[in-house]
Structure 1
């Protein structure tokens, strides 16, 4: 949806959950010598300014990374991505998932990003000029590219869910990707909503089966009336140690 702008939400509690565990997965995968492919269906602009008016308007970054950064020591893969973003954009920069991925990928790996919004595509090309950037529909591109070469890899599916059909279309996309790319790590993010609108999606995911784990965390609303009260990650073929890292992070969220 071209009206969605992640700059208003960058660095929120859901981003901390999602990006920390994405970083853990890619850090482990990159420790093995074989090259890998990283595909992202909803890339955004890659680099965000938390001192900008968008972040100030919602207060989500202040309630997210502003409150939670101390959870991550300097050698944590997520802390490394935060440092990389600040080297690129200054002390108030925040890494979108493309920067998280770029921090941990190597010269032998592929970074494939899809984004539909023209301004976000332009920002992507400026932030990560060496990536394979497609101004295209992410789900359609993912289906056309899988299985990728190299076949080993991870795909992140991270929609805004502002389009109502995404709630039903995304589980179908995940099922198709699992059939086309059974060895790939498939990571899907979804919000936990006070309204319960996410529950049918979560139920459909549970029906897909296979080697999948789910990490969910809850957090206070960033502001009065904000309907997102948690974050979910569904992961097929999760790398070794990922579930333990997810459980440890969930315990930190439980202390809020």
Structure 2
């Protein structure tokens, strides 16, 4: 259960997709003055050194953020994302990578709040230590729970502000995480139907991944957006990550157009073989309530 460490994968192609969408979504939230909450069910350590033994062992960031680092033709949503990563690095050298909690803290205003869940004993210690270096303002805004995010998120909904976003991105190392993710999203929607939910999942040779996505598409929600990025063909033995997906419930209305530009770019620039590609779907009011007809 606790063998997964995100430091091995920080800044890879899956992080590029997830974090570009996260940055855009939070910027959209900030267009209104009303405060909001962000709840991250699987926070990780928050900040990663790309010089560490873990990151250097696989160097997955080289085929993710590394391929965008020097690009001058980035679509707007990717340009903003890369700019956020640049703010953590000096002299133009890619040495550090911020995870979802830190990218969120960058976007939050004084009245907004961040709630983080992390169960890995080492990751949470690192997360707490990293937060202590962020200053008092960030510490006042943030609460860290060493609990199961699947369960803990439900008790926080709806947030007092009645505006908020929930990010759900477990490792799916345990195949039961697919079902737990689906059930958690269903329970959260009952409590907070107007919230924005961003669910990341891996593209792997497991039927649970595709089945979970199909279930999401059948939820009775106001709108949803589904983006997948494939960077290479699946392995014969079924192991390994050949892409990832992001499913958003009640996404920003600006996100679809932003991704229409970005997804072809990512599929081209992050491709590792000829099987790279993407999908992008958006549905608004997918299950409209039938209109009542009068007898007149």
Q: TM-score, structure 2 length as denominator?
A: 0.79
Q: Judging changes above 3 Å, is the alpha-carbon distance between structure 1 residues 157 and 38 closer, same or farther for their aligned structure 2 residues?
A: same
Deviation at 1:91, TM superposition (A): 4.6
8 A contact 1:58–1:223 mirrored in 2? no
Match of 1:96 among 91, 96, 99: 99
Deviation at 1:221, TM superposition (A): 6.7
Aligned partner of 1:149 in structure 2 is 160
In 2, Cα distance between equivalents of 1:103 and 1:20: 14
Q: Judging changes above 3 Å, is the alpha-carbon distance between structure 1 residues 72 and 46 closer, same or farther for their aligned structure 2 residues?
A: farther
8 A contact 1:185–1:238 mirrored in 2? yes
In 2, Cα distance between equivalents of 1:27 and 1:234: 18
In 2, Cα distance between equivalents of 1:40 and 1:74: 21
In 2, Cα distance between equivalents of 1:75 and 1:57: 26
Question: SS of the counterpart of 2:85?
Answer: helix
Runs of at least 5 residues in structure 2 that lack an aligned partner in the other structure: 133-138, 272-296
Residue 120 (str. 1) matches residue 131 (str. 2): no
In 2, Cα distance between equivalents of 1:107 and 1:75: 26
In 2, Cα distance between equivalents of 1:74 and 1:80: 10
In 2, Cα distance between equivalents of 1:77 and 1:164: 34
Match of 2:198 among 156, 170, 187: 187
- 1:187-218 C-alpha deviation (Å, 9 max, x unpaired): 10001114554111112112213111111111
Q: Which structure has the higher relative contact order (CA within 8 Å, separation 6+)?
A: 1
Q: Judging changes above 3 Å, is the alpha-carbon distance between structure 1 residues 222 and 92 closer, same or farther for their aligned structure 2 residues?
A: farther
- 1:36-83 C-alpha deviation (Å, 9 max, x unpaired): 100000000010111112122223111111112333679943134313
Aligned partner of 2:214 in structure 1 is 203
Aligned residues: CA RMSD: 2.3
Map 1:44-55; keep pairs closer than 5 Å: 44-55=44-55
Question: SS of the counterpart of 1:169?
Answer: helix
- 1:101-157 C-alpha deviation (Å, 9 max, x unpaired): 111111110011010112211222222341211111111110111111222011100
Question: SS of the counterpart of 1:85?
Answer: coil
Residue correspondences, number: 254
* Greater mean alpha carbon deviation, residues 225-234 or residues 146-155: 225-234
Aligned partner of 2:114 in structure 1 is 111
Aligned partner of 1:217 in structure 2 is 229
